[in-house]
Copies of this chain bind each other. A is one copy, B any other.
Amino acid sequence: MNYPNKIKKQQNNIIYSNRGMSLENMINESNKYYLDEDKALIYKKPTPIGIVDVSYENHQKIIKKAYFQTQSTLDYNGIYKGKYIDFEAKETKNKTSFPLENIHPHQIKHINSVIHHGGISFLLILINNVVYLLKGEDFINFVNNNTRKSIPYSYIKEKGFLIKYNYLPVLDYLKVIDKIYNIKEINYEEENKNY
């Protein structure tokens, strides 16, 4: 919480340097805002690692050797208005298309499964200095109906939804989610009666 400090910090660090901020940092800041405001619970999953060697220093367990592993799901998930949310964020320096090698086959399968089980899944793509939300459905559609190894920028602009840069949160992607998915306000009283 501690709002006055936080806003000050954001003024100094974020607003003047949006362009230099990584997509991951923008999403993490936005998720922290959603959490503080009790709007949604969305977290980045830690990077999975394979531990080879550990030792103890001053009674603390320390990893001495480990490898990075590939996430078999997407990086971010959580809950918003009773709905399961699951997404991936990717930046590309490519100006004309989004290379599909950025998304692994098991992640494509995962997006399909999330939608099948009634959840909301999408990609946030930073391309040409702007962020687009591409619905999992449109992403899967492209992959299934094309042999290309990248999604043209024109497809992202046509099917995707622009997330405008904002003050607080930096990337208000839930506002876009509200618009494009049919999400009802949940009645918490009604929900809690069931338990």
Chain A residues close to B by CB (< 8 Å):
38, 40-41, 43, 45-49, 60-68, 71-73, 77-84, 86, 110, 113-119, 135, 137, 181-182, 186, 188, 191-192, 194-195
A6 smallest CB distance to B (angstroms): 18
- CB within 8 Å for A62 and B73 given contacts A49-B49, A116-B188: no
Residues in B neighbouring A61, C-beta threshold 8 A: 67-68
Residues in B with CB closer than 8 Å to A40 are 117
With A64-B64, A82-B84, A84-B84 in contact, do A41 and B113 touch (Cβ < 8 Å)? Answer: yes
Give how many copies assemble into the complex.
2
Contacts of A67 in B (CB 8 A): 60-63
- How far is the CB of A150 from the nearest CB of chain B, in Å? 24
- Chain B: CB-nearest residue to A86: B79
Check A117 against B181 for contact (C-beta < 8 Å).
no
The answer to whether A82 and B43 have CB atoms under 8 Å apart is no
Closest B-chain residue to A187, C-beta based? B118
What are the 3 A-B residue pairs with the smallest beta carbon separation, nearest first? A82-B118, A46-B48, A182-B194
Can you add 17 more A-B contacts, CB < 8 Å, to A46-B49, A49-B63? Answer: A38-B116, A40-B117, A41-B73, A41-B110, A41-B117, A43-B72, A45-B45, A45-B46, A49-B49, A61-B68, A63-B63, A63-B65, A63-B67, A79-B86, A84-B84, A115-B195, A118-B186
